[in-house]
Amino acid sequence: MIEILEAKSGERVVKLDGRLLASRIDPRAEAQTWLKSRMAFVNKVKTIFVLGLGSGHHIQEIRSHTDARIVVIEKSQELIETVQPWLLGCVDVVIEHIRESRDLRFCNSVRDAIKQSFIVLKHPPSLAVAQSFYDGCFTQLLGRDWGHLTWQWNLKDLPALESQPRVEPKGELLTIYDLAQTELVTNSSERERLLLKALRELVK
Amino acid sequence: MKVLVVSLLRLGDLLQMAPILTALKRQMPRYQVDLLTHVHPKLAQSLLPSIEKWWLMDRDELQSGLGEAEIPLLTSFSVLKEQLDQINEQKYDLIINLTQTQFSAWIMAYLQSTDRLGLSFDRRGHAHFHSPWFRYLNDHTSPGEDVFHHTDIFANACSLDLTQDQHFFSETSKGQREWESLKIEKPFVAIQALTSDIKKNWGLEAWQKTIDSVITRMDRDIVLLGAPFERAQLEKLKSNLNLNRVHLGVVSLEGALSVLNHADLLITGDTSITHLASGARCKVLELSLGSSDLHRTGIYRSGNLILQPRLKCAPCPHSGACSQPTHACAQQLDPEIVSEIAQYFLTDAWNEMSTKAQKVSAKTQIFKSRILSTGFWVAEELSQTEPLKIIDSILDRSTLKLAFNNSSEQIVTFGSEGVRLKNEISDIVDPMLFQSAVARLDFLEQDLCTQQGRFEVGLWTLKRERPVVTDQLVDVTQLRQQQRHLKDEARKIEIKIKLVRSLRSQLMENT
């Protein structure tokens, strides 16, 4: 159920199923603080995925900092219908309604975005409403397990990392060390290998 | 024509390359010179106006993308690829890599250009240097060797003549405003007390003693230079000093340049400020501690001083902690000696300075920087007990220069190099010692001729080797490498003999 409230600062704030999706005091200030701690790559990547539409203030905040495409992943259709009109002034913002996290990989705007550089920003109030859904989306976009890594790699239309998985991830998440052990890097002359070798040097 | 210079080290290294960048533009005025660097343009772009396009590769960001669990694994890869693809679209005619690191070599492998200089890997990961000068840089990595200054290596590799004019940075209006805001009216000494490397730091207590002594000896005010993030430490230092005479100079790099141009003297550790001061007008007294390698990166301007404690471990390797139980080099450098030398320097009391250098030489080496007319930077030790030893150093440099810069088919102008050498030695060595210098050259020539004979025998022996298929194959590649090495060394000896003879005849005219 959706309620629209007014924050002390005068902005609109949405309550979804009894949970506030932004600060009741000053949602713009909250959005500024949220983004300030997440600025890595914001001005470098072609796409910024945002998990959770919230009340839209954090989307506006991102837009004020970068021209990158913003792709918002949101589980609630009702929320999208409510908040999307508030973002009409924000150019190049795509809001995708995804019912189940496994549907993410079939979404065209997601597939297109993955072909180039991107980051993923999580909106904590939205995650609190549908934690496992957004966790599932995040894992796919993070690409730090073999299955999702190869899905993303193949979307980029690059030479195959390898034909058979040889990489044994140390701990839970893959790292550049694991990528550096793939067939592409150890036994090919493809140009992409050169970049992975360079990146490997950065963490030595 | 478009040139891309790759400098993927730190701010100080980039500032050290400023004479190279300026000379590139001066000698190739119709070329567009661009830069690929980790240094943010807001820090140094205004100081390097010869650069047209500044490509920023944010190293910290790429590293965080690789390490942080919340950032997609392929983000750093994609961002790097997109940037390098964009650079490749520029179709550079020449790319010069002034960074001797594996990271830069892989980046060079990905970048495309008609020509290139400097370290680059090929697709198979084999290193190529594209110049004997860069190979020399690769082959001589031990700290403390008497080697070419990095600026000399890069200048010669790029066939640039840095002796034509002294490089100075241009002040900016922003820098001048920052200087004016400090409201310093009296003559002053600038102090750069902090460095980015804990091993290179002298310690605030030592600085405090030095500053107190400088104020007393020289009747100068003090300006403590630093970046905004260093303010707290500098405030702490200042609080222990004469507040009326000590000022904080927390300014940008542009502001620091303006401060230096008004200072009588800068006393500094090995930092980016040292390299900024190379292109400023104040005198510079550099303290070489920790991993600071003065022969490679000392203040690149004639007539300045470098102090280094005499310790077996100095300079230490960049990576790794101090090998001593205490920070021995910092402790050995006496603040009173530093302030006394500074006083002599300020008043051009070179005789007194040399006398002092002799007295303290057991514990502290005092060097004077000099750019030779042969085009090289050297650090001349003031307490040198063997004054003719500098001749060996100068001869070695000229030998390598002629060997690297000339193919074996070209006629090498030994005569003119000999004249330059003689002029240089006349400046450095007492004419009373010329006869001893001639005798030294005689001995050197004999020794070189003996070596030459040995190399000729070695080459003849190798030529007779045939690859024979027996139980053990003779390594043909290894044989060829040995042959090449011997030929190179034989050529260097031949060049050095000719230089020695040319120099000797020049000196004998004056004895």
Distance separating alpha carbons of residues B398 and B414, to the nearest angstrom: 10
Tokens for B244?
């009326």
User: Contacts from B33-37 at CB under 8 Å and sequence distance 24+?
Assistant: B33/B3, B33/B5, B34/B2, B34/B3, B34/B4, B34/B5, B34/B90, B34/B92, B35/B4, B35/B5, B35/B6, B35/B7, B36/B4, B36/B5, B36/B6, B36/B7, B36/B8, B36/B87, B36/B107, B37/B6, B37/B7, B37/B8
* Mean pLDDT value of segment A145-151: 90
Q: Is the pLDDT of residue A163 over 60?
A: no
Which pLDDT score, from 0 to 100, does residue B408 have? Answer: 45
Q: Which residues of A touch B74 (CB under 8 A)?
A: 143, 149, 152-153, 156
Which pLDDT score, from 0 to 100, does residue A164 have? Answer: 46
Span B458-494, pLDDT tens digits: 777 777 765 555 555 556 777 777 788 888 888 899 9
Residues found in chain B? 511
Percent of chain B with pLDDT over 70: 96
The one-letter amino acid code at B170 reads S
- Inter-residue contact A115 to A157 (CB < 8 Å): yes
C-alpha triplet A61, A63, A69: angle, nearest 5°: 140
A152 at B interface, C-beta within 8 A: yes
Span B80-118, pLDDT tens digits: 999 999 999 999 999 999 998 999 999 999 999 999 999
Residue in B70, B82, B124 nearest the CB of A117:
B82
Question: Are residues A141 and B72, on separate chains, in Cβ contact within 8 Å?
Answer: yes
Which pLDDT score, from 0 to 100, does residue B212 have? Answer: 93
A157 at B interface, C-beta within 8 A: no
Q: Which residues of B touch A199 (CB under 8 A)?
A: 62, 66, 76-77, 80
Which of B36, B58, B73 to substitute to test the interface with A, most A CBs within 10 Å? B73
Residue in A173, A189, A199 nearest the CB of B76:
A199
Q: Which residues of B touch A47 (CB under 8 A)?
A: none
- Is omega for the bond preceding B29 within 30 degrees of 0, making it cis? no
Distance separating alpha carbons of residues B269 and B324, to the nearest angstrom: 20
Span A26-68, pLDDT tens digits: 999 999 999 999 999 999 999 999 999 999 999 999 999 999 9
* Mean pLDDT value of segment A138-158: 93
Handedness of CA A27, A28, A31, A37 (dihedral sign): negative
A36 at B interface, C-beta within 8 A: no
- Inter-residue contact A152 to A180 (CB < 8 Å): no
Q: Which residues of B touch A195 (CB under 8 A)?
A: 77, 80-81, 84, 106, 110
A201 at B interface, C-beta within 8 A: yes
Tokens for A104?
């993410």
User: What confidence tier does B52 reach under pLDDT thresholds 50, 70, 90?
Assistant: very high
Burial A58-95, CB ≥16 within 10 A → b, else e: bbbbbbeebebbbbbbbbbeebbebbeebbeeeeebbb
Tokens for A132?
């496992």
Judging by beta carbons within 10 Å of its beta carbon (0-12, 13-18, 19+), is residue A200 exposed, middle or buried?
buried
Q: Please, what is the average pLDDT of chain A?
A: 91
Q: Which residues of A touch B106 (CB under 8 A)?
A: 194-195, 197-198, 201
Closest C-alpha to A179, from A157, A155, A152 = A152
Residue in B68, B79, B107 nearest the CB of A198:
B107
The one-letter amino acid code at A55 reads S
Which pLDDT score, from 0 to 100, does residue B231 have? Answer: 95
Span B226-248, pLDDT tens digits: 999 999 999 999 998 978 899 99
Q: Which residues of A touch B73 (CB under 8 A)?
A: 142-144, 149, 173-176, 179
Radius of gyration of chain B (CA): 25
| pTM: predicted TM-score of the whole model, two decimal places | 0.91
Span B353-405, pLDDT tens digits: 999 999 999 999 999 999 988 888 999 889 877 778 888 888 988 899 888 88
Distance separating alpha carbons of residues B312 and B328, to the nearest angstrom: 11
Distance separating alpha carbons of residues B95 and B86, to the nearest angstrom: 15
Tokens 């010869």 belong to residue: B50
User: What confidence tier does B123 reach under pLDDT thresholds 50, 70, 90?
Assistant: confident
Question: Are residues A195 and B62, on separate chains, in Cβ contact within 8 Å?
Answer: no
Minimum Cα–Cα distance from A150: chain B residue: B74
Distance separating alpha carbons of residues B511 and B506, to the nearest angstrom: 9
Tokens for B366?
């005092």
Distance separating alpha carbons of residues B18 and B433, to the nearest angstrom: 38
User: Nearest 10 degrees: CA dihedral of B457, B459, B464, B470?
Assistant: 110
Tokens for A84?
């999307």
Distance separating alpha carbons of residues B434 and B425, to the nearest angstrom: 9
Give how far A144 is from chain B: nearest CA, Å.
6
First to last CA, chain A: 51
The interface predicted TM-score (ipTM) is 0.95
Residue in A117, A143, A156 nearest the CB of B79:
A117
Give how far A118 is from chain B: nearest CA, Å.
6
Burial B173-195, CB ≥16 within 10 A → b, else e: eebbebbeebebeeebbbbbbbb
Distance separating alpha carbons of residues B269 and B260, to the nearest angstrom: 15
Which pLDDT score, from 0 to 100, does residue A170 have? Answer: 57
Which pLDDT score, from 0 to 100, does residue B242 have? Answer: 79
Question: Are residues A153 and B74, on separate chains, in Cβ contact within 8 Å?
Answer: yes
Distance separating alpha carbons of residues A197 and B109, to the nearest angstrom: 10
A189 at B interface, C-beta within 8 A: yes
First to last CA, chain B: 52
Contacts of B320 (CB under 8 A, 6+ apart): none
Question: Are residues A41 and B75, on separate chains, in Cβ contact within 8 Å?
Answer: yes
C-alpha triplet B428, B434, B438: angle, nearest 5°: 120
- Greatest mean pLDDT among B27-36, B75-84, B289-298: B75-84
- Inter-residue contact A51 to A126 (CB < 8 Å): yes
Specify the 3-state DSSP secondary structure of B287.
strand
Residue in A41, A175, A196 nearest the CB of B79:
A41
DSSP summary character for residue B412:
P
Tell me the β-bridge partners of B37.
B7, B56
Which of A156, A176, A179, A182 to substitute to test the interface with B, most B CBs within 10 Å? A176
A119 at B interface, C-beta within 8 A: yes
- The gap from C-alpha A130 to its chain's centroid, in whole angstroms, comes to 15
Q: Which residues of A touch B70 (CB under 8 A)?
A: 120, 122, 142
Span B246-299, pLDDT tens digits: 999 999 999 999 999 999 999 999 999 999 999 999 999 999 999 899 999 999
Question: Are residues A40 and B102, on separate chains, in Cβ contact within 8 Å?
Answer: no
Question: Are residues B72 and A119, on separate chains, in Cβ contact within 8 Å?
Answer: yes
Which of B57, B68, B70 to substitute to test the interface with A, most A CBs within 10 Å? B70
Residue in B84, B106, B124 nearest the CB of A201:
B106
